[in-house]
Structure 1
Amino acid sequence: MLVGKELLDKARSLSNRPEDEIARGCGYVGPSGRVLRKSFYKALVEAKGYKLRSTNRPGSRSSRGRQAEFRTRVHGNGNLLIGHAYTKKLGLEPGQEFRIEIRRDSGAIWLVPLAEKT
């Protein structure tokens, strides 16, 4: 992610593009490919010489960003989502396959890795 003069120069060079393209061109993209608009705009303002004060109290939940809580719920369509934070923590890679085992006695769902094909 560009900052300071480099950010301003790159943003100027892309100024005829849509805002999301400018942010992407300056490196403000999250791991999932989502444009990090708030971070981009904040960096632009700071590059212009303004210091922004955080409106969040230090240590408050909203000042830490999104946090993995190790909780989920069944969605209205019946799906159960395991998010990126959890798969990353386990070191899982896209394309890995699992067998789902249901433990009725404990109500647990186990994901058992399938042997990789070589």
Structure 2
Amino acid sequence: MDPQTPRHVVQRFNAEVIQDGNRVSFEQLMAPGFVNRSAPPGAPDNAEGDKVTTRKTIAKVHSGELMGIAPTGRSVTIDVIDIVRVENGRYAEHWGINSLAAVLALLRIN
């Protein structure tokens, strides 16, 4: 396997840095402009390219039908992490995770 492939780099990071605590491997695997998108508020955000990562929380009162669930009047909070690849000023690709399924499950409980 090519040691430069993203898969190999991540596998190496997991084994050598997380599992073994190898500081030398950490220094070798971190790019000079590395940005930790999961860092606490105030962490630097200085990487640019064709992908943009956002982390957000959507908080509202469930006052209208949501995916077939009648309004409950309860407060809901959905946590979201999105990665969007932009091409020619338009969304070209999207990856994301969110807590919508957990929120819907809670709304179904009376």
Normalised TM-score (structure 1) = 0.22
Structure exhibiting the larger radius of gyration computed from Cα positions: 1
Higher relative contact order, chain-length normalized (CA < 8 Å, sep 6+): 2
Name the TM-score, length of structure 2 as normaliser: 0.23
Which structure shows the higher helix fraction? 1
Larger strand proportion, structure 1 or 2?
2
